[in-house]
Chains A and B, each alone.
Chain A
């Protein structure tokens, strides 16, 4: 089936540094999402993205977070600067349409550890 690829699978950085998480969505998909999951806890919506713009973001999407998809390449989540509470697994998802024909496809996640 369709695959969403996330690179890297693990990332360890020092608090205050910048980190960029990369997502290669399904090739013909139009809608992109980031979710955050702290170990053992609920999957939380961060942001969705369509046509080069953020459509909606949650309270978890702090000012230090940004997303972009330059020239149809990777869909990225950048955190600058990182904080200890940013440690979590970040999942990228994509879908072809919004609405009734919607199916989300998820990547395997990037485990971010902030020291």
Chain B
């Protein structure tokens, strides 16, 4: 079955609203990373966050290993935040082949 589940599949916001993206794992976690995929396709690492909470500007990531989940919070969304957000996890005992979720497509309107 699908090891990485992302929700929601898509999200439409007005500029200034907050967004909460979720990533749930079906196996024990060794590491996880959030990526932003631009409309043109290139990937940018947003957070490497295997556990705990990390913040960078308007973005906050929280990973709770026991609950096998990670979240990405975007506060005061901007039009330039539009794109697809992917999480990738590496399971415990894996031979480092990070598995991606299907992504959350975010559209921020003015």
Interface residues of A (CB under 8 A from B): 31, 33, 35, 37, 41-45, 48, 55-56, 58, 89, 91, 98-100, 102-109, 111
Interface residues of B (CB under 8 A from A): 30-31, 33, 35, 40-45, 48, 50, 86, 88, 90, 95-103
Which A residues are CB-close (under 8 A) to B31? 99-100, 102
Which B residues are CB-close (under 8 A) to A45? 97-100
Q: Determine the main DSSP class of A at the interface with B.
A: strand
- 30 A–B contact pairs at CB < 8 A? A33-B97, A33-B98, A37-B41, A42-B102, A42-B103, A45-B97, A45-B98, A45-B99, A48-B95, A48-B96, A55-B96, A56-B95, A56-B97, A58-B97, A89-B41, A99-B31, A99-B96, A100-B30, A100-B31, A100-B50, A102-B48, A102-B90, A103-B48, A104-B33, A104-B45, A104-B88, A106-B44, A107-B42, A108-B41, A109-B42
Which B residues are CB-close (under 8 A) to A107? 42
Supplied contacts A106-B44, A106-B45, A107-B42, 14 more A-B pairs, CB within 8 Å: A33-B98, A43-B86, A43-B100, A44-B100, A45-B99, A56-B95, A100-B30, A102-B90, A102-B96, A104-B98, A106-B35, A106-B43, A109-B42, A111-B41
Which A residues are CB-close (under 8 A) to B96? 31, 48, 55-56, 98-99, 102
Alpha-carbon distance between A37 and B43 when the two chains are bound, in angstroms: 12
